[in-house]
Structure 1
Amino acid sequence: MAAKEKDGRRIVAENRQARHEFFLNETLEAGLQLLGTEVKSLRKGQANIAESYASIEDGGVWLINSYIPEYKGAGPFYQHEPRRKRKLLMHAKEIHKLAIAIERRGMTMIPLELYFNDRGRAKLKIALAEGKKLHDKRETAKKRDWDREKQRIMRDKG
């Protein structure tokens, strides 16, 4: 699967389920510390961040449980581990702000998109999020259905 183009960015992987499962409060962009074979796999459009999350450990932010498959063009000696922890590159002020939000308000960091920016650098869009309860999910679905119905009515009448 090739990466999709969206306003100058080549999107490699999206976490569509995140908008359904969480209230997204604030989004940030972070760089990724990757190995060469990981970059090659990403350029082929192979990655999955649906089950991953970010965590603050040892003064840095880490992406945990993301899947970037091995690059078949490289030999067995140069391969990487597909589900290894990957360091996110952020400023110290941003890390401190995230740590406070997680500690005080009980939020979590969820990856939304993995993409290449216009300069060819791999970036990850992460969001500070709060989990939705079942009734919140139902309310969101009702609102989405009503908006869709409202659009149909306006289209037919107007």
Structure 2
Amino acid sequence: MASDISTNKKARRDYEILEQHECGLELKGTEVKSIRAGKVNISDAFARVEKGQLLLYGCDIQPWETAGEFFQHAPKRPRRMLMHKREIFKIEMKLAQKGYSLPLLRLYWKNGKVKAEIGVGKGKTFRDQRYDLKARVELREVQREVSRFNRR
């Protein structure tokens, strides 16, 4: 039932994702219309816990053209994410450790509502990124050899 709106491939490259959580988003009507039109960029989006609430920063939702000035939204405003307090508290405890952050992994539709998937991640070094790239290349070569062997 869930269909992707946008995915953040850069987050999976830069972070080792340890946990994934689903959250709702508190949006204005013009933001939902812009998301339906595909005018959203989540490449630099991340979340923070502030005063017991989970806030999303860096998510760029472009303004809806046909809305009037009064109803218009700011493109990069902080947006509140909806989760249970216990889950937010658990995430806050993980983020208290050094090196952990909370990048936005993807936005998707679920039962007519916009949901966000965030991940508790630890930043990768360039060495780790090279190792992952090398492992992917080796796996691809092995799959090619297997398919070539099976064709005979």
TM range (shorter): over 0.9
Alignment of 1:18-33 (within 5 A): 18-33=11-26
Alignment of 1:1-158 (within 5 A): 8-104=1-97, 106-117=99-110, 119-158=111-150
| Length-normalised TM-score, structure 2 | 0.95
| Length-normalised TM-score, structure 1 | 0.92
Does the 8 Å CA contact 1:55/1:62 hold for their aligned counterparts? Answer: yes
RMSD: 0.9
Structure 1 residues without counterparts, runs of 5 or longer: 1-7
Does the 8 Å CA contact 2:100/2:121 hold for their aligned counterparts? Answer: yes
Per-residue deviation, 1:135? 0.7
**What do residues 15-67 of structure 1 show as CA deviations (whole Å, max 9, x unaligned)?**
01111111011100000001111011111122111011100011100000110
Per-residue deviation, 1:10? 2.6
Per-residue deviation, 1:105? 5.1
Structure 2 residues without counterparts, runs of 5 or longer: none
Taking the aligned partners of 1:11 and 1:70, their CA distance within structure 2 comes to 20
**What do residues 84-120 of structure 1 show as CA deviations (whole Å, max 9, x unaligned)?**
0000000001001000001135411011111111x10
Distance 1:94 1:31, change over 3 A: same
Runs of 4+ in structure 1 off by over 4 angstroms are none
Q: Percent identity?
A: 36
Per-residue deviation, 1:76? 1.8
SS of structure 2 residue aligned to 1:76: coil
